[in-house]
Structure 1
Amino acid sequence: MYKSMYMTCQKVWLDRYVVVLISEVSANIEGLIVQFSLSLVGTHIDAVYHTSVVLGGIEYFFGQGIQTSQAGTTHHGNPMEVIDIGHTDLPMELILEYLESLKQIYTAESYDLFMKNCNNFSNDFSMFLVGKGIPDHITSLPQTVLNTPFGQILRPQLDSAMRSITQAPTPTPPAQMGTSSTASDIVTLTSGGSINKASQAKVINATTLQDVSLHLDAARSRCAVILFTSATCPPCKLVHPVYEDLAVEVGDKATLLKVDIDKAYELASEYGITATPTFITFLESQQENRWSGANPSQLRGNVSLLIQAALHPHTKLNVQSLLGVDLRPILFTKLPPLEKLKAKMGNVAEEPIIKSVLAFIAARDSSTNSVVTTVPDLSAFNIFLDESKNLPLENLFPLIDLLRLALVDPRISGFFAELGNFSTIARLLDRINSQSPCPYSLNLVALHMCCNLFSSPIFKRLILQDAVFSSLLVRLLSASFLDDSHSTIRSSAASLAFNIAAANHKLRKEERHQGLPNDETVELLASLFETLGTELIDADTIKQLVAVIGLLVYLAPQDGEIFDLCMAMDAEGLVKEKERITGADQVVKDVGRVLLAKGLSNH
């Protein structure tokens, strides 16, 4: 069995398959529970399960917070069953962001054997990765026990007896299984139990034209270097250590490839290599420079110039206050009296799935039941929402508010994000956008609901990359900014615009690609400039709008419509004029006096 599990994990490492390991919690304790379960609780229990999720050779489980280990090396020993539940194409960065959001839910202090255990975590994580959870007979077992009189009586004793096992420390640090020719993600735990990714860039060995093409294409928005070398070339050995050090120093600013021409004749012929070492540099996939010789100073100098050419001129501007803005999303988490919300729903509140969602929200926000976190049937909730999109507006409002409250939980926002084209929420937004004018209460709760979509890292990425959905958001924002009767609408719209701009800024800055489609960015900026030009907004809203403008303009394509719009609408003068209202706010000064004054000067 263990050999089979190990082979499965090797498959996981290579192919991004996701497996669930099912183990016995403890052979001794489990034996007693199984033996006496019928007489004590009136129900026969076959086993007491511990589950974990394996991805990329790393085993993820919940005990002392979210923990990780090399697959198959935890204190729970060999698994009794291995379930291959599917394949994920989600990028590792996104998965780690999601786990980071879950650490606020799955803390060591919140562990509860019956209501919040390893199986709840495995179910949530697998739902996120592949859209389906672990077997129902595992997740339902605690409630089966609690539904019996003796189960309730024995609950404290069982919870206490199992603590030393379920919350034992991780025996070994996480490690990778298998090898890869590319820089790999290594998952570690900080002392506080959070999950971080440590990536150490390294030279990528390429042997085929396809290898080189793929890596150059991946680096098309920045730069790359290819070193052509040979095992029989003594000068090459002098530059190998320098080249390896450079890869670590430049990190993700450049991709460094190495080709051994003794093993890659086709590549040597394609690039006309007649001597080694030879270096070729690429800027945005186009050949930029070429030289031969083992001169470390020349190598370092040329790579430095290459990276400078690849970097956007905005990186040379002193806008530290703008770049220091807290990019965490603005969420609207205030809980209204649930009885009043139910009353507004009318008969809808009696639907089983609505009762379940209301109970989940009440339990989640109750200090006495803070450990209850099992999410309701999200598939049923999605179907109900989709069927309710044409409800009368007075009935649609409380349903959108219920969705707003549910989306605060990243597990729920992550679920809706993974639905194709955000179909359900997109149809709800389309209905709301079709109202002219949109009723105040519906408009406000729609803005708050959209802000809460950003509780999940997967939504933050996918929102920006889906032209249809991002267009729906910008339409909602544009109409909301035009509302000159309600300051709360404009303020809430500014919050949603900030969430969009912050997510887009992170993509540009960290991954060097445009997230929000260009047309939507231009339309959003035009609405922001128009709103900023009115006298109807207060100082705090002005500060937020200027920060949004700054985040949308910073690192924007230099030859695109964004710069043209800024010039045409005199964005510099518009922002500078608002300094008299915002006083000495440094972000406003950074955007007006530096970014818009100097960052557009070469356009």
Structure 2
Amino acid sequence: MDVQLYVYDLTHGMAKNMSRQFLGIQIDAVYHTALVFNGIEYFFGSGVQTCYAGRTHHGRPMEVIPMGTTHLPMEDILEYLESLKQIYTPESYDLFAHNCNNFTNDFAMFLVGKGIPDHITSLPKRVLDTPFGQMLKPQIDAGMRSVTQASVPARNVPSAANGGGGSSISQPKSVANGKPATQAAPILLGNSKPVTYGKVPPLEKLVAKLGEMRDDAALLSLKTFIQQRNVDPREAPLPDLEAVGQAFQSKVLTLPVEVRFAAVDLLRCAMIDPRVSGFFAEEKAGSQTADTLIDHVNELADCPHNLRLVTIHLACNLFTSPLYTKQILHPEKAIATKLVQLVTSSLLDASHPTTRVAASWLAFNLAAANHRSCRGEGREALAEGQQVELAASLIEVLGSEDNGEAVKAQLLGLGYLVYGAPRDGEVLDLAKALDAKATVSAIGKGNEALAKEVAGFLS
């Protein structure tokens, strides 16, 4: 689909004629932008809104800019749009700090891999850099609010089926082994929300470790985004994520191996944002940044502990976007196999309990996502061989693990793998052959209730 940027002037010419008189600088318009594709216009005002192209209350656009072509399926676009709605809420609108142009910039980054023109996104700063701009800010914002947040007439709003938004979550179906999808999971397995790692380290110290890449523009833009997002996600416009991906593809893995963790940790911090993880889920073919980094750790003969740990944390943060979860569970994608390999090798790290804890939670994320797929789509998304490999690793380490958090994560991961598993399937056959019930039943140290529940699934 061709993507166009519709550019409007909210003042209908007044800004161009009167800006120098009031602000002391010449501005051509107070820009409102929207993205248009497939006959539908997407914009931010009173939340994320849609209408048939050219049918908003703003009249005719002053300019139409071709942005490029997207080959993304509409289902994925609408799922990404749902993640944007969490940030672009009606209450969060601010003419100067969090406006329609921030929204179109983020959305365009996902659709075509680039943002909207700089002269549009930089206009609020130009205005506020003037003495009169600062003075008149409250009046300008209040005066424009009835324009920027007006509703679209119902007759001009497309239905969800025509690309007007709405949830793209599948309705529950029966699972493959015959258990109804409406059956609630046992109480201790009731929460299958993925575990993620959002703590931000001292960024100046982290970037200083990058050596020759400490001044790399793409990585510095990533640092700025993380800093802004840590204060308020609504005031953190996305950096050029395509440039970020290219930096990781072409430069990061040429750094000395002992400092590569710093760059990966930067990406891990950004990946907590579903806009970022959603973008990287839909990278162009052959440019999968996360796959490259996971492959790198899997293939290193002697991977430094800090690099392995932050890569596992990054892998957990892929689950912040339903788009990346879909990629992981796609039968034709290789990333699930890579993640299982990362889990199984990392669980064997006897020297570093933090690595085992993180790997255990990654195993949980994989098992829980597979469980949700069973309930939502009626199919197990992870191949049976992948489930067997995960289960074998978890059972093996449960017998010797002395870290309470790791034990909890391992029990939860194993529980989601065996709960409702086909009675004649390979997962339960493996569990029986390894006497998993006896291993699980012997677990104490604060995890007795969970161990008892999981042991029940193994009966």
- TM range, normalised to the smaller chain? 0.7 to 0.9
1:496 aligns with 2:362: yes
SS of the counterpart of 1:395?
helix
Cα drift, residue 499 of structure 1: 1.8
In structure 1, how many angstroms separate the alpha carbons of the residues matched to 2:279 and 2:182?
40
Of the three residues 336, 341, 344, the one matched with 1:478 is: 344
Change (3 A) 1:470 1:161: same
1:510 aligns with 2:376: yes
Q: Quote the residue 2:216 is aligned against.
A: 351
SS of the counterpart of 1:313?
coil
In structure 2, how many angstroms separate the alpha carbons of the residues matched to 1:38 and 1:322?
65
CA deviations 1:27-53 (Å, max 9, x no partner) are xx3422111234444554333332233
CA deviations 1:533-558 (Å, max 9, x no partner) are 224232x4323222212323345566
In structure 1, how many angstroms separate the alpha carbons of the residues matched to 2:370 and 2:316?
14
Q: How many residues align?
A: 455
1:450 aligns with 2:315: yes
In structure 2, how many angstroms separate the alpha carbons of the residues matched to 1:372 and 1:105?
9
- Contact kept, 8 Å, 2:176 with 2:380, in 1: the verdict is no
CA deviations 1:420-451 (Å, max 9, x no partner) are 35532222222222334432222221111111
In structure 2, how many angstroms separate the alpha carbons of the residues matched to 1:504 and 1:56?
33
Of the three residues 390, 412, 416, the one matched with 1:524 is: 390
- Contact kept, 8 Å, 1:25 with 1:166, in 2: the verdict is no
Of the three residues 106, 110, 115, the one matched with 1:128 is: 110
In structure 2, how many angstroms separate the alpha carbons of the residues matched to 1:173 and 1:67?
14
Of the three residues 388, 394, 399, the one matched with 2:258 is: 394
In structure 1, how many angstroms separate the alpha carbons of the residues matched to 2:435 and 2:184?
19
Change (3 A) 1:580 1:123: closer
Change (3 A) 1:311 1:489: closer
For residues 179-578 of structure 1, the aligned pairs below 5 Å read 184=161, 196=167, 253=173, 312-315=177-180, 320-321=185-186, 325-366=190-231, 371-386=234-249, 387-419=251-283, 420=285, 423-465=288-330, 467-538=333-404, 540-554=405-419, 556=421, 560-578=425-443
Q: Quote the residue 2:32 is aligned against.
A: 50
Change (3 A) 1:507 1:174: farther
1:22 aligns with 2:6: yes
1:111 aligns with 2:58: no
Q: As a proportion of its length, which structure holds more strand?
A: 1
Q: Quote the residue 1:37 is aligned against.
A: 19
TM-score normalised by structure 2 residue count: 0.86
In structure 2, how many angstroms separate the alpha carbons of the residues matched to 1:463 and 1:198?
17
1:99 aligns with 2:81: yes
> Structure 1: 5+ residue runs without aligned partners?
1-16, 178-182, 189-194, 200-250, 254-306, 598-603
Structure with more contact order per residue of length (Cα contacts < 8 Å, sep ≥ 6): 2
Q: Aligned AA for 2:30?
A: V
SS of the counterpart of 1:168?
coil
Q: Aligned AA for 1:383?
A: Q
- Contact kept, 8 Å, 2:401 with 2:407, in 1: the verdict is no
In structure 2, how many angstroms separate the alpha carbons of the residues matched to 1:558 and 1:320?
17
Q: Aligned AA for 2:380?
A: Q
In structure 1, how many angstroms separate the alpha carbons of the residues matched to 2:376 and 2:45?
32
- Contact kept, 8 Å, 1:422 with 1:469, in 2: the verdict is no
Q: Quote the residue 2:73 is aligned against.
A: 90
User: In percent, how many aligned pairs have the same letter?
Assistant: 45
Q: Quote the residue 2:150 is aligned against.
A: 168
In structure 1, how many angstroms separate the alpha carbons of the residues matched to 2:28 and 2:15?
9
Cα drift, residue 412 of structure 1: 1.6
Q: Aligned AA for 1:47?
A: A
In structure 1, how many angstroms separate the alpha carbons of the residues matched to 2:208 and 2:327?
35
- Contact kept, 8 Å, 1:22 with 1:49, in 2: the verdict is no
In structure 2, how many angstroms separate the alpha carbons of the residues matched to 1:316 and 1:22?
44
Cα drift, residue 347 of structure 1: 3.8
Q: Aligned AA for 1:397?
A: F
Alignment RMSD: 3.3
